[in-house]
Structure 1
């Protein structure tokens, strides 16, 4: 066992986390995010999702400054946040990492919470650690209402309240479970990704640990959420997941009832 600077007691053969950060034109915020990740002694996989030349230059400089701690991957064309995450987690799994901490590049997530996320992942290595946002006053009210609608659909499509928030991009994946999922199922690669991967991993039996975490509006003021196209993608996803839930319903209900019977 080793106690790392991040505060995680780990067995190097069983718990080997890294960070995966999808990046698209967040050159003004990414440096602080990367610095916070590296301060927690986490290797960092940056995925440049076909950013502008100015952002690409910033990423090149970050990687050059920390060649042993930062891996920089690039997409020739923009594939979306989900596509970038998938590229990063596949690389992480191939490199022998057991877990991937996903965090956004825009600075909205509280990097001080990274140790808490890693501690939970080390304690429950088969579980997915999911951020449950605690927003400040910077978030638009319309965003909150839209998120709540998604929460309701996720509760319907999992027949549970186990997932408190499916849209927060601050989470820790157990890579074996995630890689098994992506090998058999093509997931949405844009803003529908965060929701779909969480629901499908839950369907696969992965338990969810919800951690409250402070979330602010992007520090660089840039959001890539496209109100029309992305809301349409998410609506289609909820419909697809609903029909997928129907034939899984007996198993999902049994999953909730069996522990209760065992405890009786």
Structure 2
């Protein structure tokens, strides 16, 4: 069945007990349209206000008041995308959801793929369903090509090609398992989070299913990626993961080879 052919009952069935988690930081214009495009799928939404300014905070409060299916969680001080996603995932588990689809607030993700990702999660409920971006001409060229450096480091640090793209923020998490993972390992709170949590997940024996999804950059032109700070954090993350890989490599590589997943 194609995504377009799925009706609302199919979507609800595919969703199991799923919700959508959206970290938000000063995207007061984009989040209105993003949420409007999500609501027709009848999947509950958790908005996480990551210390946004007054205008954005007011918009988020208004959206939560207007829509009973929208929950609002607040970090009083900006802590970064990773911290906001962590709060969203933990809140989703506490609210009784089994899975959470992470979506960026700025409108870059193809929300028409929501049913396909939730269907994949229903079919493989213990896996992380991870988006593999298919970019259009809107993607900044430098950012597009710079991603390949992270891809290479991830393949080295996992001794595997299992993770096709670790930076895409469009993915479904099995909540009980991922929250246990978050409690066991220390992961970054900013732009390093998306990559680091996937590597730790694979190290712990978790499985990943990769799904292609179109990506358009971005609806309101607001990017919170700080080239100096975030590139430094990502570099430190890769260094941590590399030394972690060296410590795990002998026994872990043997296990991967047995499963046919090693380089």
Fold conserved between structures, TM > 0.5: yes
1:6 and 1:115 in contact (8 A); partners too: no
Shift of 1:7: 2.6
Matched with 2:25 is 24
Does 2:107 correspond to 1:107?
yes
Deviates more, 1:91-100 or 1:178-187: 178-187
Does 2:63 correspond to 1:58?
no
Shift of 1:254: 2.5
Does 2:194 correspond to 1:194?
yes
Q: Pairwise mapping of residues 239-254 of structure 1 onto structure 2 (< 5 A)?
A: 239-254=239-254
Q: Pairwise mapping of residues 42-57 of structure 1 onto structure 2 (< 5 A)?
A: 42-57=43-58
Name segments (4+ residues, structure 1) moved above 6 Å.
Answer: none
Matched with 1:213 is 213
> Number of residues paired by the alignment?
256
Deviations 1:96-119 (A, max 9, x none): 111110000000000001111000
Matched with 1:226 is 226
* Unmatched segments (≥5 aa) in structure 1: none
Shift of 1:218: 1.1
Matched with 1:176 is 176
Q: In the superposition, relative to structure 1, how do residues 207 and 79 fare at CA in structure 2: closer, same or farther (>3 Å)?
A: same
Q: In the superposition, relative to structure 1, how do residues 86 and 28 fare at CA in structure 2: closer, same or farther (>3 Å)?
A: same
1:196 alignment partner, SS class: helix
Q: Pairwise mapping of residues 58-97 of structure 1 onto structure 2 (< 5 A)?
A: 58-66=59-67, 68-97=68-97
Shift of 1:9: 6.5
Shift of 1:240: 0.3
2:34 & 2:7 partners in 1: Cα distance? 19
Shift of 1:95: 1.1
Q: In the superposition, relative to structure 1, how do residues 251 and 128 fare at CA in structure 2: closer, same or farther (>3 Å)?
A: farther
* Unmatched segments (≥5 aa) in structure 2: 1-5
Q: In the superposition, relative to structure 1, how do residues 10 and 250 fare at CA in structure 2: closer, same or farther (>3 Å)?
A: farther
Shift of 1:144: 1.4
Cα RMSD of the aligned pairs, angstroms, is 1.7
2:259 & 2:90 partners in 1: Cα distance? 34
1:190 alignment partner, SS class: coil
Shift of 1:164: 0.5
Give the TM-score normalised by structure 2: 0.93
